[in-house]
Amino acid sequence: MRRRAGIILQARLGSSRLPGKALATIAGQTILEHCLRRLMFPGVAPVVLATTDRSEDQALVDVAERLGAAVFRGDASDVLGRFVAAAAAFGFESIVRATGDNPGTDIEAPGRLLSALRAAEADYVHEQGLPYGAAVEAVTRDALIRAAHETTQPDDREHVTIYVRRNTHLFHVLELLAPAPLRRPGVRLTVDTAEDLARVRAIFERAGSDMPSLRQLIEAAGHPVRSEVA
Protein backbone atom coordinates (compact mmCIF):
# COMPACT_ATOMS: atom_id res chain seq x y z
CA MET A 1 0.00 0.00 0.00
CA ARG A 2 1.36 3.41 -0.95
CA ARG A 3 2.00 5.65 2.03
CA ARG A 4 0.25 9.04 2.01
CA ALA A 5 2.82 11.70 1.19
CA GLY A 6 2.95 15.40 1.89
CA ILE A 7 5.36 18.29 1.50
CA ILE A 8 5.99 20.37 4.61
CA LEU A 9 7.64 23.77 4.23
CA GLN A 10 9.02 25.31 7.39
CA ALA A 11 9.20 29.09 7.57
CA ARG A 12 9.14 31.89 10.11
CA LEU A 13 9.82 35.59 10.17
CA GLY A 14 12.17 35.57 13.15
CA SER A 15 15.41 34.81 11.31
CA SER A 16 18.45 35.92 13.30
CA ARG A 17 20.65 36.81 10.32
CA LEU A 18 18.04 38.33 8.02
CA PRO A 19 14.81 39.05 9.94
CA GLY A 20 11.66 39.00 7.84
CA LYS A 21 13.39 37.42 4.86
CA ALA A 22 10.43 35.16 4.04
CA LEU A 23 8.56 38.27 2.92
CA ALA A 24 11.49 39.84 1.07
CA THR A 25 10.74 40.11 -2.63
CA ILE A 26 12.57 38.53 -5.55
CA ALA A 27 11.32 39.19 -9.09
CA GLY A 28 8.07 40.61 -7.75
CA GLN A 29 7.22 37.75 -5.40
CA THR A 30 8.10 37.08 -1.79
CA ILE A 31 10.57 34.32 -1.01
CA LEU A 32 7.73 32.40 0.63
CA GLU A 33 5.64 32.68 -2.54
CA HIS A 34 8.50 31.33 -4.65
CA CYS A 35 8.96 28.39 -2.24
CA LEU A 36 5.28 27.49 -2.09
CA ARG A 37 4.61 27.88 -5.81
CA ARG A 38 7.60 25.72 -6.78
CA LEU A 39 6.56 22.98 -4.35
CA MET A 40 2.90 23.12 -5.41
CA PHE A 41 3.44 23.37 -9.17
CA PRO A 42 4.11 19.68 -10.05
CA GLY A 43 1.21 18.42 -7.90
CA VAL A 44 3.27 15.60 -6.44
CA ALA A 45 1.73 15.87 -2.97
CA PRO A 46 -0.21 18.31 -0.80
CA VAL A 47 1.86 21.24 0.48
CA VAL A 48 1.62 22.48 4.06
CA LEU A 49 3.25 25.58 5.50
CA ALA A 50 4.49 24.71 8.99
CA THR A 51 5.09 27.97 10.78
CA THR A 52 5.14 29.06 14.40
CA ASP A 53 2.32 30.03 16.71
CA ARG A 54 3.82 33.51 17.14
CA SER A 55 1.57 36.39 16.09
CA GLU A 56 4.18 37.81 13.70
CA ASP A 57 3.93 34.70 11.54
CA GLN A 58 0.28 35.35 10.72
CA ALA A 59 1.65 37.26 7.73
CA LEU A 60 3.07 33.98 6.40
CA VAL A 61 -0.21 32.21 7.02
CA ASP A 62 -1.96 34.87 4.94
CA VAL A 63 0.40 34.25 2.00
CA ALA A 64 -0.03 30.48 2.15
CA GLU A 65 -3.80 30.66 2.33
CA ARG A 66 -3.92 33.07 -0.59
CA LEU A 67 -1.97 30.56 -2.69
CA GLY A 68 -4.14 27.65 -1.59
CA ALA A 69 -1.62 25.88 0.64
CA ALA A 70 -2.64 24.34 3.95
CA VAL A 71 -1.17 25.67 7.20
CA PHE A 72 -0.02 24.16 10.48
CA ARG A 73 1.18 26.30 13.40
CA GLY A 74 3.32 24.96 16.22
CA ASP A 75 6.26 25.46 18.55
CA ALA A 76 8.76 28.12 17.46
CA SER A 77 11.91 26.37 18.71
CA ASP A 78 11.05 22.64 18.54
CA VAL A 79 10.85 22.33 14.76
CA LEU A 80 11.13 18.55 14.91
CA GLY A 81 8.07 18.44 17.14
CA ARG A 82 6.29 20.83 14.77
CA PHE A 83 6.96 18.50 11.83
CA VAL A 84 5.75 15.43 13.69
CA ALA A 85 2.58 17.24 14.73
CA ALA A 86 1.97 18.61 11.23
CA ALA A 87 2.45 15.19 9.64
CA ALA A 88 0.01 13.67 12.13
CA ALA A 89 -2.55 16.43 11.59
CA PHE A 90 -2.61 15.84 7.83
CA GLY A 91 -2.07 12.08 7.88
CA PHE A 92 1.28 12.19 6.06
CA GLU A 93 3.35 9.03 6.37
CA SER A 94 6.04 10.10 3.90
CA ILE A 95 7.24 13.68 4.12
CA VAL A 96 9.26 15.99 1.92
CA ARG A 97 10.92 18.63 4.08
CA ALA A 98 11.60 22.01 2.51
CA THR A 99 12.73 25.26 4.07
CA GLY A 100 11.50 28.80 3.52
CA ASP A 101 14.84 30.35 2.62
CA ASN A 102 15.21 28.51 -0.70
CA PRO A 103 13.35 30.33 -3.50
CA GLY A 104 15.24 28.26 -6.09
CA THR A 105 14.19 24.81 -4.86
CA ASP A 106 14.34 22.23 -7.64
CA ILE A 107 10.73 21.80 -8.78
CA GLU A 108 11.31 18.15 -9.69
CA ALA A 109 13.17 17.12 -6.52
CA PRO A 110 10.15 16.20 -4.33
CA GLY A 111 8.92 13.70 -6.90
CA ARG A 112 12.35 12.12 -7.32
CA LEU A 113 12.88 11.73 -3.59
CA LEU A 114 9.42 10.37 -2.79
CA SER A 115 9.84 7.77 -5.53
CA ALA A 116 13.23 6.76 -4.14
CA LEU A 117 11.92 6.63 -0.56
CA ARG A 118 9.14 4.26 -1.60
CA ALA A 119 11.24 2.11 -3.92
CA ALA A 120 13.99 1.54 -1.36
CA GLU A 121 11.62 1.40 1.63
CA ALA A 122 14.05 3.82 3.24
CA ASP A 123 13.59 5.99 6.31
CA TYR A 124 15.34 8.99 4.78
CA VAL A 125 16.55 10.06 1.33
CA HIS A 126 18.55 13.04 0.18
CA GLU A 127 20.47 14.08 -2.92
CA GLN A 128 24.01 15.34 -3.22
CA GLY A 129 25.35 17.79 -5.75
CA LEU A 130 22.49 20.23 -6.31
CA PRO A 131 23.12 23.96 -5.91
CA TYR A 132 23.10 25.03 -2.27
CA GLY A 133 19.49 25.83 -1.49
CA ALA A 134 17.92 23.76 -4.29
CA ALA A 135 17.55 20.44 -2.47
CA VAL A 136 14.81 18.96 -0.31
CA GLU A 137 14.73 15.85 1.90
CA ALA A 138 12.33 12.92 2.16
CA VAL A 139 11.71 11.15 5.44
CA THR A 140 9.07 8.91 6.96
CA ARG A 141 6.87 10.08 9.79
CA ASP A 142 7.86 6.99 11.76
CA ALA A 143 11.53 8.05 11.59
CA LEU A 144 10.68 11.55 12.79
CA ILE A 145 8.60 10.16 15.64
CA ARG A 146 11.51 7.98 16.74
CA ALA A 147 13.89 10.92 16.54
CA ALA A 148 11.53 13.12 18.56
CA HIS A 149 11.26 10.46 21.27
CA GLU A 150 14.96 9.66 21.44
CA THR A 151 16.76 13.01 21.21
CA THR A 152 16.82 16.00 23.51
CA GLN A 153 19.65 17.85 21.75
CA PRO A 154 18.63 21.38 20.70
CA ASP A 155 20.30 21.05 17.27
CA ASP A 156 18.44 17.82 16.57
CA ARG A 157 15.12 19.45 17.38
CA GLU A 158 15.87 22.64 15.44
CA HIS A 159 17.14 20.98 12.25
CA VAL A 160 14.61 18.12 12.16
CA THR A 161 16.51 15.39 10.30
CA ILE A 162 19.99 15.57 11.84
CA TYR A 163 19.31 12.75 14.32
CA VAL A 164 18.11 10.43 11.55
CA ARG A 165 21.04 11.27 9.26
CA ARG A 166 23.59 10.81 12.02
CA ASN A 167 22.32 7.44 13.21
CA THR A 168 22.65 5.33 10.10
CA HIS A 169 22.84 2.21 12.29
CA LEU A 170 19.27 2.90 13.42
CA PHE A 171 17.73 4.21 10.22
CA HIS A 172 17.85 3.24 6.55
CA VAL A 173 19.45 6.37 5.09
CA LEU A 174 19.80 6.62 1.32
CA GLU A 175 22.16 9.07 -0.39
CA LEU A 176 21.62 9.72 -4.09
CA LEU A 177 23.48 11.75 -6.66
CA ALA A 178 21.40 14.53 -8.18
CA PRO A 179 20.82 14.37 -11.96
CA ALA A 180 24.15 15.04 -13.64
CA PRO A 181 23.22 18.27 -15.46
CA LEU A 182 22.07 19.80 -12.16
CA ARG A 183 25.17 18.94 -10.12
CA ARG A 184 26.42 22.42 -9.38
CA PRO A 185 27.16 22.46 -5.62
CA GLY A 186 29.16 25.67 -6.02
CA VAL A 187 26.05 27.62 -7.02
CA ARG A 188 24.39 29.27 -4.02
CA LEU A 189 20.63 29.84 -4.26
CA THR A 190 19.69 30.01 -0.58
CA VAL A 191 18.96 33.29 1.21
CA ASP A 192 20.57 33.59 4.64
CA THR A 193 22.09 37.07 4.44
CA ALA A 194 21.58 40.41 2.73
CA GLU A 195 24.37 39.47 0.32
CA ASP A 196 22.57 36.25 -0.56
CA LEU A 197 19.37 38.18 -1.20
CA ALA A 198 21.10 40.58 -3.59
CA ARG A 199 22.78 37.71 -5.47
CA VAL A 200 19.61 35.62 -5.80
CA ARG A 201 17.65 38.68 -6.95
CA ALA A 202 20.20 39.18 -9.72
CA ILE A 203 20.05 35.50 -10.72
CA PHE A 204 16.26 35.54 -10.97
CA GLU A 205 16.36 38.77 -12.95
CA ARG A 206 18.76 37.22 -15.47
CA ALA A 207 16.65 34.03 -15.64
CA GLY A 208 13.75 36.19 -16.80
CA SER A 209 10.92 33.76 -16.04
CA ASP A 210 7.97 33.76 -13.66
CA MET A 211 8.99 30.32 -12.41
CA PRO A 212 12.44 29.50 -13.76
CA SER A 213 13.57 25.90 -13.75
CA LEU A 214 16.64 24.96 -11.79
CA ARG A 215 18.53 24.63 -15.08
CA GLN A 216 17.60 28.23 -15.94
CA LEU A 217 18.74 29.44 -12.53
CA ILE A 218 22.05 27.59 -12.82
CA GLU A 219 22.66 29.13 -16.22
CA ALA A 220 21.67 32.57 -14.95
CA ALA A 221 24.25 32.11 -12.20
CA GLY A 222 26.89 31.72 -14.89
CA HIS A 223 27.19 27.94 -15.02
CA PRO A 224 26.07 26.46 -18.38
CA VAL A 225 24.08 23.24 -18.03
CA ARG A 226 25.20 20.26 -20.07
CA SER A 227 22.66 18.03 -21.78
CA GLU A 228 23.79 14.66 -20.40
CA VAL A 229 21.55 12.69 -18.07
CA ALA A 230 22.37 10.91 -14.83
Put simply, whether the predicted model's pTM sits higher than 0.85 gets the answer yes
Give the count of beta carbons closer than 10 Å to the beta carbon of residue 41.
12
Q: For the chain, which domains are there?
A: 5-220 (3.90.550.10)
Q: What is the mean pLDDT of the chain?
A: 94
| Model pLDDT for residues 24-42, shown as the tens digit of each residue | 999 999 999 999 999 999 9
Specify the 3-state DSSP secondary structure of 63.
helix
Q: Is the pLDDT of residue 229 over 60?
A: no
- 104 close to 77: Cβ distance less than 8 angstroms: no
**pLDDT classification of 227: cutoffs 50, 70, 90:** low
| Model pLDDT for residues 101-119, shown as the tens digit of each residue | 999 999 999 999 999 999 9
Give the count of beta carbons closer than 10 Å to the beta carbon of residue 21.
23
Rg of the chain on CA atoms, in Å: 17
Average pLDDT over residues 11-17: 85
Q: Give the residue ranges of DSSP H helices in the chain.
A: 31-40, 58-67, 79-90, 109-120, 141-150, 154-159, 162-166, 194-207, 214-220
Q: Report which of 36, 77, 22, 7 is spatially closest to residue 190, judged by C-alpha positions.
A: 22
| Model pLDDT for residues 154-171, shown as the tens digit of each residue | 899 989 999 999 999 999
| Model pLDDT for residues 39-90, shown as the tens digit of each residue | 999 999 999 999 999 999 999 999 999 999 999 999 998 999 999 999 999 9
| Model pLDDT for residues 192-220, shown as the tens digit of each residue | 999 999 999 999 999 998 899 999 999 99
Specify the 3-state DSSP secondary structure of 185.
coil
